[in-house]
Amino acid sequence: MAEEKEMVNIYIMGKHYKVPYGLTIMKAMEYAGYRFIRGCGCRGGFCGACGTVYRKPGDFRLKVGLACQTVVEDGMYLTQIPFYPANKATYNLEELTPTLGTLLQYYPEMTRCLGCNSCTRICPQELSVMDYIAAAQRGDIEKAANMSFDCIMCGLCASRCPAEIVQYNVAILARRLYGRHIAPRAQHLAKRVEEIKAGKFDEEISRLMKMDRAELQKLYDARDIEP
């Protein structure tokens, strides 16, 4: 297979390898002989383990991508950044109030943002990172929560921030504040939990548990299905 494919030259941490054209960076590194311990997680773009930075010859710009979702290009100089030391505040969510003061109490460095937009430019999810930090600075927790929702916490934003903000940790605090203290609770859920605790469904469930396969199959086939 490999022989028939067009090959490209890549440089993993400066070291030259020839790999088949069309592979993702992750698969290309494995083809080159790497067996990942760090820098590889879900392999599907959800976990943020495989943040990778690279440059192409003759281009001063630093580029970025998830190794599992980015295709190798000829001449790529690349390295993964699987871990970056980050300041993570610890808090008791239940006791917090969803205010600007809370965000500032745990992440005062948030106000040091220089507006350079490096975080937004590096985000492999193409989130407007600087803008959600701006929303957080205004105390607009709902906006910060929603704008940061697709964050996979890969940490690349924090690695580039000259103000040393850990954007993704600010973001998860905003999201949890929103989810717990701002978004209205589901009333039907609370009601159902009370009904279950009161034993409303116990009898029906234990009746079903005693049924044999034929009885269950009959009930199953006769189910009315919500359109």
Partner 1 sequence: MYTQEMLEAIKIVEKTRERRLKETFPRLKPEEKEQLLRSFHPDYMPDAMRPVKVGPNKGEKMPHEHVDLLESRSMLDPDHFSLEKIDYDVDVLVIGGGGAGTSAALLAQEEGADVLLVTKLRHGDANTMMAEGGIQAADKENDSPAIHYLDVMGGGGFHNIPELVAALVMDAPLCIQWLESLGCMFSKFPDGTMNTIHGGGTSRKRMHFAHDYSGAEIMRTLRDEARNRGIKVIEFSPAVELIMDEHGQCAGAVLYNLETEQYLVVRSKTVIIATGGSGRLHIAGSPTTNHYGATADGLVMAYRAGAKLIFLDATQFHPTGVAFPEQIVGQLVTEKVRGLGAQLVNADGEQFIYPLETRDAVSSAIIRECKERKKGIATPSGMYGVWLDSPMIEILHGKGTIEKELPAMFRQYKRFNINMAEQPILIYPTLHYQNGGILINDRAETSIPNLYVAGEASGGVHGRNRLMGNSLLDIIVFGRRAGKNAAQRAKSVQLGRLTLDHVKRFHEELQKEGLGQKVAPILLPDYRGKIS
Q: Is 177 exposed, middle or buried (0-12, 13-18, 19+ CB in 10 A)?
A: buried
- Cα angle 166-45-47, degrees, rounded to a multiple of 5: 50
* Least distance to partner 1, CB of residue 114, Å: 27
Give whichever of 27 and 56 is closer to partner 1, judged by the CB atom. 27
For residue 106, what is the enclosing H or E element? Answer: helix 100-106
In angstroms, how far is the first alpha carbon of the chain from the final one? 48
Q: Residue 40 and residue 67: Cα distance in Å, rounded? A: 8
**What sign has the CA pseudo-torsion 105, 106, 107, 109?**
positive
Query: 3-class DSSP state for residue 130?
Result: helix
Q: Work out how close the CB of 119 gets to partner 1 at its nearest, in angstroms, rounded to a whole number.
A: 18
108 touches 150 (CB < 8 A): no
Question: To which residue do tokens 């992440």 refer?
Answer: 107
Are 180 and 92 in contact by the 8 Å Cβ rule? The answer is: no
Shortest CB 48 distance to partner 1, Å: 9
Tokens standing for residue 67 = 């190794």
- Considering the complex, state which of residue 110 and residue 178 has its C-beta at the smaller distance from partner 1: 178
Q: How far is the CB of 184 from partner 1 (least distance, A)?
A: 3
Q: How far is the CB of 142 from partner 1 (least distance, A)?
A: 10
Which CB, 30 or 109, lies closer to partner 1?
Answer: 30
Q: How far is CA 89 from CA 4, 55, 143, in A?
A: 52, 34, 21
Nearer to partner 1, 44 or 115 (CB): 44
Of 114 and 208, nearer to partner 1 (C-beta) is: 208
Judged by beta carbon, residue 116 or residue 190, the one nearer partner 1 is 190
- Minimum Å gap between C-beta 162 and partner 1 is 26
